[in-house]
Structure 1
Amino acid sequence: MGNTELWRLTATETATATRAGDVTAEAVTRAALDRMAAANPALNAVVDPLDAEALERARALDAARAGGAAPGPLHGVPVTIKINVDQKGHATSNGVVALKDLIAPDDAPLVKNLQDAGAVVIGRTNTPEFSFRADTDNPLFGRTHNPWGDHVSAGGSSGGAGAAVMAGIGALAHGNDIGGSLRFPAAANGAVTVKPGLGRIAAWNPSQTAERGMLAQAMSVQGLLTRCAEDLHLSMPTMIAPDPRDPFHVPLPWRGEASDGPIRVGFTRDTFGFDLHPEVALALDAARDALRDAGYTVEEIDPPAMPETGSDGYRALMGEVKALMGPDIRANGSATINAIFDEYFDQFTPFEGTDLLRMMARRSHYAREWSLFLDRYPLVLCPFLPQPFFAPDRDVQGAEGVREVLGSAIWSYAMNFVGLPAGCVPARLSELSAGPQPISVQIVGRRWREDLVVDACAAVEQRLGRMCDALWARMG
């Protein structure tokens, strides 16, 4: 197997080869770094390359294995880390100029867990300022471009991660999600992801000087973007390893109990007043048919407590953001991000004071309604966005731009508010007038059953194919 081919391997294929001794961690790492050197200049996805550090670690892994040490489950797998999470000795800038010298004193739990499993961090990926846009651009590092072309945004806030993994820069890409920041870039670039539920992955940045707000703690989760669903089954057990620095982590195994019979899937095209684009409708139908072919029972449903779960949840989050992050955004954010937040606050009127406290309490009502519903339908297949993914900078184009980018994403942030797992998987490649782009669907799951969500994503992928293959054929 030549080095020119190694970057194309999935994480599962890479780990199988390195653990068996068929290829070295150093060879895999060099191939990933070579691919980064070739693809990243046009994308600006990795903004802190770690070539020397990565090769040193890969050699150490090879030496340990040669000395008899048992290789970890991710032995030699190249990964990227988003720049809003602590990695010892590197800046956790979060796309903010004022934070460019905020050097992490230690690794965040997920970075430690990945490296303990044998992964090799090859670079750190771009994010918008404060990780609070569905598009990725900032004054510190500039714009991340989508490998499908400049006609479509790379998404955000984990836009660098999504563009990198789909371009072949690392087999796994870390990201996080408070309102859609794993699923937006997955949909934009054609990656596969699962937003974990609340408490599944230990979270903590050692560089923090204060705790986050309660809704941020309840809605924000860490995760991975991959090129195939199988890689989530390989890597997520590592991601959910416990860490005492997160006192609310839930130490459950990755795999839950097997179903006694066919799993019932609720299916809806409801977009709550937003027009459903024909290409999105075709993607939903294709995913529905794939699940039926795989043995799932798919039934049309009316989703519970929607769209209030989403709209009330995001207004509550905006209330907390305005109170706790607002002064920092005003002081350290660019004119662009301040203008976007002005539109956010206009469109998602923040709950404040007693109203905010009441809505934080009402969150349990919405979560209960969803829990009761998912007791009958363990999975729900639904749109992610009602339209194909938007163009770069759509969210700086006034109220209509913000409405298209975030206002229509009710299915996204609703799942953050109630803390449910939600996967995003591509189900169609559309040849639109502006250019080609993937169309993704969302699969929501029962609490603690991310494994069921990934199984369903894998069933869709098995019938419809991996999006990276079509992308690489175009990239050359």
Structure 2
Amino acid sequence: MSNKDLWRLSATETAARTTAGDITATAAVDAAIARMETVNPALNAVVVSLAESARARAAALDKARADGAPCGPLHGVPVTIKINVDQAGEATSNGVVALKDMIAPANAPLVDNLLNAGAVVIGRTNTPEFSFRADTDNPLHGRTRNPWGDHLSPGGSSGGAGSAVAAGIGALAHGNDIGGSLRFPAAANGVVTIKPGMGRVPAYNPSQTAERGMLSQAMSVQGLIARSAADLHLSMPSMIRTDPRDPYHVPLDWKGAPLDGPIKVGFTKETYEFDLHPEVSRALDLARDALVDAGYQVEEVEPPMLREIGIEGYRTLMGEAKALMEADIRAKGSATIQAVFDEYYAQFPPYEGTELLQMMAKRSYYARVWSEFLATYPLVLTPFLPQPFFRPDRDTEGAEGMREVMGGSLWSYSMNYIGLPAANVPALLADLPAGPTPVNVQIVARRWREDLAVDASIAIESRLDTLSEALWSRMG
């Protein structure tokens, strides 16, 4: 492989080769920056290039290695950071024009964790305003495009991250997820992620002037998007390192104890009142067969109370958002994001007052129901969306558009509400009239067992392969 093609390497391959001395961190980073400069103008996934500082850091890593310093697990791996998380000296704009000059005084814990592991940040990726859409566009940086084509949204809110890593701009992309913001971009761009459970990755922005709402603290998590499921096993142990600035972080090891016997996987195609597209059904069958071939015991199940959890959870989140974010959205948001929130409120009427407090308390009941269910089935293979991924701006097209984007996403935000880990992995590339469309499936895991969901993703990927080569052949 020539130096110019090093951007094709996974994070695992890159770290192994830089640590062994087969390639330098400088070569790996230069290749990723060259790829970024080639494809990003058409995608607008990375909205702040950090090429100059990335090259300086790579050179410093090479010197440290030459001087005998130990290499971190992500030595020389190019990564991106989403613009809603603090990186010292950079604006944490969150896609909002009024926040374009809010410069972070220090790094968020996850940025420090990645840097301490040897990663190199090459750029910052786009998000919608307030990071609160399943699509990625904003008045500050503009629209991010999906590398598969303009027939597909790149997803949101970590749409820049998903588009970047799929296109070969860095082997890992940071993102976060309060209702699907890691998994929507993974599904849209045909890449893989794990939404960690509550408390797994330390979270804090030094630039913040107030604490987030209690439900946001419980539902929002930090994570990574990758092209290879194995890269999550490499990188997430660094992401979850404890930081005293997050007093609720849970300092558990990444990998838990092995389970006895074949792992039981609950399998469902349930999408409630939403029609299941034939290609989504086929993707689920392919994923199921891959798990059976890998030795998992797959059984059809009826998931407990999923629809109630999803609808009530999102109405509760909207209640907190209306109480705590409404003033900023109206004062600082564009007409587009205000209209999107109006439609959120129409489709998910916010709980308020005493009822809001009661529904926040009811989270524990729903979490207990699923905890008991997962005692029998440590993993559950589910749809992510009932239909293949939607087109750009679909959530701005009134009630029908919002129903497709968020109404059908019960399997997404329900897992945030009860704080469970959920992986998202591609199972096929559908040949649809609009154009080639990745179709991902979701794997829900027991609390604290993200590793089991990643193991299952690797089993699916091992049989069905990644979509990277097909995408890069199209992109040229």
Q: Same fold (TM over 0.5)?
A: yes
* Aligned residue runs from structure 1 range 441-456, under 5 A: 441-456=441-456
The answer for the alignment partner of 1:424 in structure 2 is: 424
The answer for the alignment partner of 1:336 in structure 2 is: 336
Task: Give 1:260 shift.
Answer: 1.6
Task: Give 1:202 shift.
Answer: 0.1
Identity %: 72
The answer for the alignment partner of 1:140 in structure 2 is: 140
How far apart in 2 are the matches of 1:318 and 1:210?
Answer: 19
Task: Give 1:233 shift.
Answer: 0.3
Q: 3-state SS of the aligned residue for 1:436?
A: strand
Counterpart residue identity of residue 304, structure 2: P
After superposition, the C-alpha distances for 1:81-104 in whole angstroms (9 at most, x for unaligned) are 000000000000000000000000
How far apart in 1 are the matches of 2:4 and 2:23?
Answer: 13
* Aligned residue runs from structure 1 range 334-373, under 5 A: 334-373=334-373
How far apart in 1 are the matches of 2:272 and 2:103?
Answer: 44
- TM-score w.r.t. structure 2 length? 1.00
The answer for the alignment partner of 1:435 in structure 2 is: 435
Matched, 1:94 2:94: yes
Q: 3-state SS of the aligned residue for 2:306?
A: coil
Task: Give 1:406 shift.
Answer: 0.5
Counterpart residue identity of residue 385, structure 2: L
Task: Give 1:473 shift.
Answer: 1.4
After superposition, the C-alpha distances for 1:425-464 in whole angstroms (9 at most, x for unaligned) are 0001001000001000000000000000000000000000
The answer for the alignment partner of 2:3 in structure 1 is: 3
The answer for the alignment partner of 1:119 in structure 2 is: 119
The answer for the alignment partner of 1:223 in structure 2 is: 223
Counterpart residue identity of residue 190, structure 2: G
After superposition, the C-alpha distances for 1:397-444 in whole angstroms (9 at most, x for unaligned) are 001000100111000000000000000000010010000010000000
Structure 1 stretches of 5 or more lacking a match? none
Counterpart residue identity of residue 248, structure 1: Y
Q: 3-state SS of the aligned residue for 2:48?
A: strand
Task: Give 1:5 shift.
Answer: 1.5
Counterpart residue identity of residue 16, structure 1: A
The answer for the alignment partner of 2:108 in structure 1 is: 108
Counterpart residue identity of residue 81, structure 2: I
> What do you get for the CA RMSD once the two structures are aligned?
0.4
How far apart in 2 are the matches of 1:305 and 1:437?
Answer: 30
Q: 3-state SS of the aligned residue for 1:7?
A: helix
Counterpart residue identity of residue 331, structure 2: A
Counterpart residue identity of residue 196, structure 1: P
The answer for the alignment partner of 2:277 in structure 1 is: 277
The answer for the alignment partner of 2:62 in structure 1 is: 62
The answer for the alignment partner of 1:401 in structure 2 is: 401
How far apart in 2 are the matches of 1:302 and 1:9?
Answer: 40
How far apart in 2 are the matches of 1:43 and 1:73?
Answer: 30
How far apart in 1 are the matches of 2:68 and 2:338?
Answer: 55
Counterpart residue identity of residue 406, structure 1: M
Matched positions, count: 476
Q: 3-state SS of the aligned residue for 2:150?
A: coil
After superposition, the C-alpha distances for 1:191-241 in whole angstroms (9 at most, x for unaligned) are 100000000000000000000000000000000000010000000000000
How far apart in 2 are the matches of 1:4 and 1:262?
Answer: 43
The answer for the alignment partner of 2:17 in structure 1 is: 17
After superposition, the C-alpha distances for 1:151-172 in whole angstroms (9 at most, x for unaligned) are 0000000000000000000000
How far apart in 2 are the matches of 1:45 and 1:188?
Answer: 13
How far apart in 1 are the matches of 2:317 and 2:185?
Answer: 21
How far apart in 1 are the matches of 2:398 and 2:145?
Answer: 22
The answer for the alignment partner of 1:198 in structure 2 is: 198
Counterpart residue identity of residue 439, structure 2: I
Counterpart residue identity of residue 14, structure 1: T
How far apart in 1 are the matches of 2:422 and 2:352?
Answer: 28
After superposition, the C-alpha distances for 1:10-66 in whole angstroms (9 at most, x for unaligned) are 000000000001110011110000000001000000000001000000001011111
How far apart in 2 are the matches of 1:113 and 1:265?
Answer: 32
How far apart in 1 are the matches of 2:260 and 2:219?
Answer: 32
Task: Give 1:305 shift.
Answer: 1.6
After superposition, the C-alpha distances for 1:121-156 in whole angstroms (9 at most, x for unaligned) are 000000000000000000000000000000000000
The answer for the alignment partner of 1:237 in structure 2 is: 237
How far apart in 1 are the matches of 2:126 and 2:202?
Answer: 22
Counterpart residue identity of residue 175, structure 2: G
Task: Give 1:469 shift.
Answer: 1.4
Task: Give 1:188 shift.
Answer: 0.1
Counterpart residue identity of residue 359, structure 2: M
Counterpart residue identity of residue 131, structure 1: S
Task: Give 1:475 shift.
Answer: 1.0
Task: Give 1:467 shift.
Answer: 1.0
How far apart in 2 are the matches of 1:105 and 1:469?
Answer: 40
How far apart in 2 are the matches of 1:391 and 1:40?
Answer: 20
After superposition, the C-alpha distances for 1:375-396 in whole angstroms (9 at most, x for unaligned) are 0000000000000000000001
After superposition, the C-alpha distances for 1:330-383 in whole angstroms (9 at most, x for unaligned) are 000000000000000000000000000000000000000000000000000000
How far apart in 2 are the matches of 1:472 and 1:256?
Answer: 36
Matched, 1:213 2:213: yes
The answer for the alignment partner of 1:182 in structure 2 is: 182
